[in-house]
Amino acid sequence: MSATAKECVAEIVGTFILIFFGDMAVHMAVNTGGMDLWGVSMLWGLAVVMACYAVGPVSGAHLNPAVTIAMACYRGFSWSKVLPYIVSQVIGAFGAAALIGCLWRGFIPGLAEKMGVVIGQPGSQKMMMGFSCFFPNPGMIGVDAASWAKVTPATAFTVEVAATGVLVFMILALTEDRHEGAPKSNLVTWFIGLLVAALVGISAPLTMTCLNPARDLGPRLYAYLQGYGAIAFPGPRGVEWWLYILGPIVGGLVGGALYELVLRPLFGKVDLKAGQGIDLPQGGSNIRS
């Protein structure tokens, strides 16, 4: 098996772990009411930690197309691996959604009756939110016109750009070899997990905090195959399927650019030994011209 193939398998496994724990938490909240926003946020954060620890040494644990593209733009990740990584991430997310759907299948009839909805019909996003994202949060805010007016597509797009921008900005900061105060490598995943938990906690009512195109697309594909139809594609408001792809990708590029152009140059001269630091030139200095 080639090195790239091994990395792609790791991305499938890691994204599966991420979505399994994260979407299982959302299913618990939707199907039983036994999980509040705090609990869902914490489990998403822990899912990031577990997935990163599991596959980080193999693939770098991108687990997210927005991160993969940002790493290619700003950290020298090979562009030839970008598409294989993204496909692997979507496969992992789809597989996790399929397993979750099987595990919670027995709850669907009762939940549909309780909510007064039919799968695939308007309002059934209150059930499908266990898999994918909608704006505003159907369970917290609602699915009627008055609820939709509270979060426009432009607002939702901006939220996803901002939240994913913060995520990528901080990933670059936490993994910056020139940053002497950064956490050690075995603690970085905990800080990233806490960051994801915080982002979910503050923006879930608005957009359900996607941050990750694979996190939405893989489960959305599964939901479509389960009969959600137009609620999955293009979404009840007609834009969900692409907004949760484009928003995080743009956010990752913006967050990465802000780090590279604004914060990173402020580190100034940092003298390191040869071979120390991911971008150390031959001259022994990390200053960029």
Percentage of the chain modeled with pLDDT above 90: 86
Query: What b-and-e string marks burial along 254-276, b requiring 16 or more CB atoms within 10 Å of the CB?
Result: bbbbbbbeeebeeeeeeeeeeee
* Distance in angstroms (rounded) separating the CA atoms of residues 245 and 242: 5
- Provide the 10 A C-beta neighbour count for residue 185: 10
Question: Residue 73 falls within a domain, yes or no?
Answer: yes
Question: Residue 84 falls within a domain, yes or no?
Answer: yes
Nearest CA-CA partner of 214 in 103, 57, 25, 69: 69
Question: Residue 278 falls within a domain, yes or no?
Answer: no
CATH of the domain at 102: 1.20.1080.10
Residue 96: which domain range? 3-267
Lowest mean pLDDT among 98-107, 171-180, 243-252, 269-278: 269-278
Q: pLDDT grade, residue 106 (50/70/90)?
A: very high
Global confidence as pTM: 0.91
Question: Residue 228 falls within a domain, yes or no?
Answer: yes
For 263-274, the DSSP string reads IGGGG---B--T
pLDDT of 288 reads 44
Query: Residue 273: pLDDT above 60?
Result: no
Query: Residue 229: pLDDT above 50?
Result: yes
Question: Residue 119 falls within a domain, yes or no?
Answer: yes
Q: Give the residue, 72 or 268, on which the prediction is more confident.
A: 72
* Distance in angstroms (rounded) separating the CA atoms of residues 91 and 104: 20
Total of domains in the chain: 1
For residue 230, the number of C-alpha atoms closer than 13 Å in the C-beta half-sphere is 7
Question: Residue 132 falls within a domain, yes or no?
Answer: yes
Q: Are 248 and 213 in contact (CB under 8 A)?
A: yes
Question: Residue 210 falls within a domain, yes or no?
Answer: yes
pLDDT of 109 reads 95
Q: pLDDT grade, residue 270 (50/70/90)?
A: low
Query: Residue 246: pLDDT above 90?
Result: yes
pLDDT of 151 reads 98
Nearest CA-CA partner of 228 in 108, 65, 86: 108
Question: Residue 232 falls within a domain, yes or no?
Answer: yes
Q: Which residue has the tokens 């090195």?
A: 3
